[in-house]
Chains A and B, each alone.
Chain A
Amino acid sequence: MSRNDGKKDSSASTFRKIDVDQYSDNNFREEDADGGIGGPTGPDENEILTLLSQGKNAEALISVLRSAPLGCKNQQVKDNARNLTLKVLLSIKSTQIDDCLGQLDRDLLDVLMKYIYRGFEIPTEGSSSHLLTWHEKVYNISGVGSIVRAFADSKRA
């Protein structure tokens, strides 16, 4: 239902394309609203890879999620963290997922959900089906709220 079907509306719609906000000096910019919290600068790749090679998958997952650079402005740092997180997610076998999720708190589950959705954006061979398994299991714990937060938060993965 449109909010704009009041009496005074004309049928013309071109005026909708005019960005009236550009004429305002006190414009709202999303970055300003985020505040000055820098947050982690990204996970330590060597540490994560070492943990993975030692078979400490759960530790690797916790470590990579805890240091996720969600608030970072540098896209390169975010992409590196995304690639590393996906590597961790894909190297954990389906049978181990429940065990790993049991060690995460609610906040880390929300971060995890954000990376699962990021992973869907850049599929590799077989990655999406594995991520869907992750998605199902995270959803079972933290519900639709977790999905909503993956979209609503302005600090994304």
Chain B
Amino acid sequence: MTEVHNLGVDAISCHAWNKDRKEVAICPNNNEIQVYKRTSSGWKLLQNLQEHDMHVMGIDWAPNTNRIVTCSADKNAYVWTQEGDGKWNPAWVLLRINRAATCVKWSPLENKFAVGSGGRVIAVCYFVSENNWWQCKHIKRPLRSTVTTVDWHPDNKVLVAGSTDYKVRVFSAFISDMEDAPGNGPWGHSNTLGTLLAEFQNTPNGGGWIHSVVFSPCGNKICWVAHNSSICIADATKGNAVIRLYTEHLPFLNCVWMGSNSIVAVGHSCMPMLYSIDDNGQLYFVSKLDNTQKKEAAGLSAMRKFQSLDRQARTDTNDNALDSIHQNTINCVRKVSNNEFSTSGLDGQLVVWDLKLLENSIAGLKIA
């Protein structure tokens, strides 16, 4: 039902799939990026991409142009392209930022990408063929703190960013050097890079850092999750009205749209949760997507003892398993297909979930 992959690493800080989902790039919570290929006998490590000096903060794999972009706390980003022999080669990106690069995302047309930074700036990068390198333009105002997350509107010209100043902002990301027609969508007219199209306070109470923000498939709505355990949706077609849901769970770190009305949120609760929007536009909790029963540990072995020490820093072996597949925080979720998504987390597991199959096994679960 649910595929659990163990790549033999301690923790996965982020992951990204290639177009046909046969290969996956992960960061094992250090300065490397590992590319694995799925074979009949398990996962095979194809290449270890080593160019960053510090922790890799974001990976994104452009499906059609088959390029990987990575960014890191060492203030650099690289675009990796595959040579004829299958080896990945890095191209350095001129980011001009003075703090860590925290997140990165390819635009839908894959001709631009956005990098968020701790230096209160978003770098919108594009390729300049005359110079043969990746160059960027900055969005600075009115960002007041570290940008933690970015996402692109399907029209390729609008960008949304979440920040540690408790705000979500929608910007125009139109680059006049390389694009002809400015965008004119539900969020407003985007003809200049950096125009602020909308701004949302997480909650009237301040309410913690924004961890993740994503556009809906149609691009009319955005959904964000933040450190006050909330999940919020803003709708451009309804005058930027915000629906906030304060949940009873631990904070979510990442979320993804599964269809036009459903959102899967993951985070410190160690299990994915499904939220939906009803006909009245209200957001409601549908179900936990993990109904795993706790495995009873049989006997006591030295190996288990050391494993528990290593993974959870606990010396006692009894009762340290959670009632879920993931045994630690989930920090990354990706859509794999129309009804499948994948999660990875600090327990080093990569799990692929199928909503269609989950529908059969969890009572009352109906995917809209």
Contact = CB atoms under 8 A, between A and B. Distances in A.
Contacts of B145: 28, 33
Q: What 5 A-B pairs come out closest when comparing CB atoms?
A: A143-B248, A154-B206, A6-B54, A152-B208, A145-B229
Interface stretch (B60-68, B126-134, B197-205): B197-205
B55 A3 contact: yes
Contact of B55 (A6, A35, A107, A142): A6
Interface in A106-124: 106-107, 110
Given A1-B29, A110-B246, A154-B206, A6 B74 contact: yes
11 contacts: A4-B73, A8-B53, A28-B120, A33-B166, A142-B248, A144-B248, A144-B249, A145-B248, A149-B228, A153-B203, A153-B207
B97 to A, nearest CB: 14
Given A26-B144, A155-B205, 19 more contacts: A4-B73, A5-B30, A6-B52, A9-B54, A28-B144, A32-B144, A33-B165, A34-B206, A106-B246, A143-B247, A143-B248, A143-B249, A145-B249, A148-B228, A148-B251, A153-B203, A153-B205, A153-B206, A155-B206
Contact of B251 (A5, A33, A106, A152): A152
B205 A154 contact: yes
Contacts of A110: 246
B55 A145 contact: no
Contact of B207 (A5, A26, A143, A149): A149
- Tell me the interface secondary structure of chain B in the complex: loop
B31 interface: yes
B140 to A, nearest CB: 9
A16 interface: no
Contacts of B249: 143-145
Interface centre among A30, A32, A143, A148 (most CB of B within 10 A): A148
B139 to A, nearest CB: 14
A93 B144 CA distance: 46
Interface string B19-36: 000000000011100000
A1 B11 contact: yes
Contacts of B165: 28, 33
A27 to B, nearest CB: 9
A71 B206 CA distance: 9
A153 B228 contact: yes
A8 B205 contact: no
B112 interface: no
A18 interface: no
B227 A6 contact: no
A119 B30 CA distance: 42
B9 interface: no
B197 to A, nearest CB: 19
Nearest to A8: B53
A8 B230 CA distance: 37
A144 B207 contact: no
Contacts of A148: 208, 227-229, 250-251
